[in-house]
Chains A and B, each alone.
Chain A
Amino acid sequence: MVFKGLVALLGLTVLGLAAGIGLSLTGEAAPALERFGPALFTRNVWDPVREDFGALPHIYGTLITSLLALSVGGPVALGTAIFLAEFAPGWLRGPVSYLVELLAAVPSVVYGLWGLFVLAPLLRTTVQPTLGNWLGFLPLFQGPYYGVGIFTGGIILAIMVIPTIAAVSRDVIRAVPDDQREAMLALGATRWETVRYAVLPAARSGIFGAVLLGLGRALGETMAVTMVIGNRPQIPASLFGPGYTMAAVIANEFAEATSDLHLSALFAVGFGLFVLTLLVNIVARVLVWRVAWGPVGGE
């Protein structure tokens, strides 16, 4: 009985710590929230010197880099997952799975280092001018090409969400019963048509969950983005301009913040980030759990 009580207590500790995160952030963010109200998240100004804080540029940067990451990394990750689950020959499946999982093991500061010294110069000299030439009539793709900026941040995040989305999607796709495939093949469908019309629809909500898990990772990712986004609290008209994210501003300013209000504003940004990732993760978990545990393809 004592032992059961002890381990139950340790289980409750997990709950307590999770609750503690939310409570402590709310507590520390309170002064800034009282001073600025909801405007703290809707105003486009961030001026630590005049103690005027509105985190809209950071929220914009976080959302736009994450969307960029999903639209670039998502299809690649899904393609990888389909390859691993459906088309890869047996001898290739294990090694490629392992290598894709290794992408997740590389520390984010290493991605940042690579992004800063390899990816950013590469994008500045090749990819950005090409996009500018083709799509330059849109403000989103106009120069000047800095290298570091929102665009590079999005690409680095695209690489970092690949392992998450690919691994979860692969598991979800493999969870689709073989009956589905056999029935489709028996109708004379090609292997691709089987995947497209019998497997993917059945795995749809799980894949959506996988993409949301990737989104959660992209929203909260700090170091790699901090090193390549340019760190300027503004909303640039062009994707190539320098910006900021919620995580990056905490990483850069927290240890050097001098006034209590500045610290509190950063805590408020952290609280916003916490709530955002919490919602995304909860929805994602529910979707993935349903596919992994419930009947598949019952829609």
Chain B
Amino acid sequence: MDGYGYRTTVHYRRRKVVGRVFQGLTVLSAGLSVGVLFAVLGFVFVQGVSGLNLELLTQTPKPPGEPGGGVANAVVGTLLLVALACGFSLPVGIGAGIYLAEYGRSGVMAQLIRFIADVLTGVPSIVVGLFAYTVLVIPLGHFSALAGSFALGLIMLPTVVRATEEMLRLVPNSIREAGLALGIPGWKVTLRIVLPTALNGILTGILLAVARAAGETAPLLFTAFGNPFWNLDPTQPVAALPLQIFVYAISPYDDWHRQAWAGALVLVCLVLVASLAARLVRGRVMF
């Protein structure tokens, strides 16, 4: 074997080995990412199941230090907050999405709204909470479910706007033209023909936004504030599951730690169901 061929072979072998090593590193990274997910969810499941019982899901919290009690009011509070948040963010978000898709394909204003909606996604949730505090807590003079749901709605808003716009854009123009050719006014074409066609996709976006909002804690700290009792009055402070988990986790009581894990299990299940539902709905999107 002459020197040249030998060197080429060695060189080629080395290149192959280097390639294998780096390919292996990417596999390792992916394994690590997935492994961390299983480590977190696994602990939540194992620790949570041992704390899960009927009392947890039907009772309100006991005073500090007393064992027992549950987070039922917090689960209901979270549902109330998310429902109110939808009441605010869906009309605004879907409306803005319709504007972007149907009337503002180009144009400076639409481009600006699109950009701001994207940037809004990146505003820290705690800052959104501060905003909700200035808008609804200071004028009302006290914490309330209304303020909390305003903050959650603001967090949902950009996702709803962009999902609506993108899904409406996927609806073929021939469908709009068919409607208009029949003499149906433009707004009716949008509301009765285009919107229902894109409904599944929009629903996916909404469910993802709900999943994110339901797990938020930071913006609720000084808006919804938390409440050890039952409350369904939007103008009063209300408990929320993530808040309750936070309070229990940083408390010094073992029983509360146990309830924090169980609460986390309930919360993770809620969020996973919402995001799984989003995926199932998306699977049925077709035009």
| Bound together | yes
Interface centre among B25, B112, B133, B249 (most CB of A within 10 A): B249
Assembly CA distance A254 to B134 (angstroms)? 12
User: Closest B-chain residue to A18, C-beta based?
Assistant: B116
Residues of A close to B122: CB separation below 8 A: 213, 216-217, 220, 277-278, 280-281, 284
Cα of A273 to Cα of B129 in the assembled complex, Å: 13
B123 at the interface (CB under 8 A from A): yes
At the interface, yes or no: B127 with Cβ under 8 Å from chain A?
A: yes
**Total A-B residue pairs with C-beta atoms closer than 8 Å?**
263
Contacts of B16 in A (CB 8 A): 190
Closest-by-CB residue of B relative to A86 is B26
* B204 close to chain A: CB less than 8 A: no
How many residues of chain A get a CB closer than 8 Å to chain B's CBs?
86
Contacting pair A83 B30 (CB below 8 A): yes
Contact A223 B217, beta carbon cutoff 8 Å: yes
CB distance from A174 to the nearest CB of B (A): 15
Contact call B23/A109, Cβ cutoff below 8 A: no
B230 within 8 A of A: no
| Contact status B103-A192, CB under 8 Å | no
Report yes or no: B246 in contact with A7, Cβ–Cβ below 8 A: no
A105 near B30 with CB under 8 A, answer no
Question: Is the beta-carbon distance between A96 and B30 smaller than 8 angstroms?
Answer: yes
- Chain B interface residue number, banded: 35 or more
Question: What are the interface flags for B168-181 relative to A under an 8 Å C-beta threshold, 1 for contact and 0 otherwise?
Answer: 00000000000000
Contact between B37 and A76 (Cβ–Cβ < 8 Å)? no
Which residues in B have some Cβ–Cβ distance to A below 8 Å? 15-16, 18-20, 22-23, 25-30, 32-34, 36-37, 39-41, 43-44, 47, 91-92, 95-96, 98-100, 102-104, 109-110, 112-113, 115-128, 130-131, 133-135, 154, 157-158, 161, 186-187, 190-191, 211-212, 214-218, 221-222, 225, 242, 245-246, 249-250, 257, 260-261, 264, 267-268, 271-272, 275, 279
Q: Can you report 23 A-B residue pairs in the complex whose CB atoms are below 8 A from each other?
A: A10-B96, A11-B96, A17-B157, A18-B119, A28-B130, A80-B32, A83-B29, A87-B27, A96-B30, A102-B272, A105-B211, A106-B37, A108-B215, A117-B47, A159-B40, A196-B22, A217-B122, A220-B122, A247-B218, A273-B127, A277-B122, A280-B122, A281-B119
Interface set of A (CB-CB < 8 Å, partner B): 2-4, 6-15, 17-18, 20-21, 24-25, 27-28, 75-80, 82-84, 86-88, 96, 98-100, 102-103, 105-114, 116-118, 159, 162-163, 166, 190-193, 196, 213, 216-217, 219-223, 227, 247, 250-251, 254-255, 267, 270, 273-274, 277-278, 280-282, 284-285
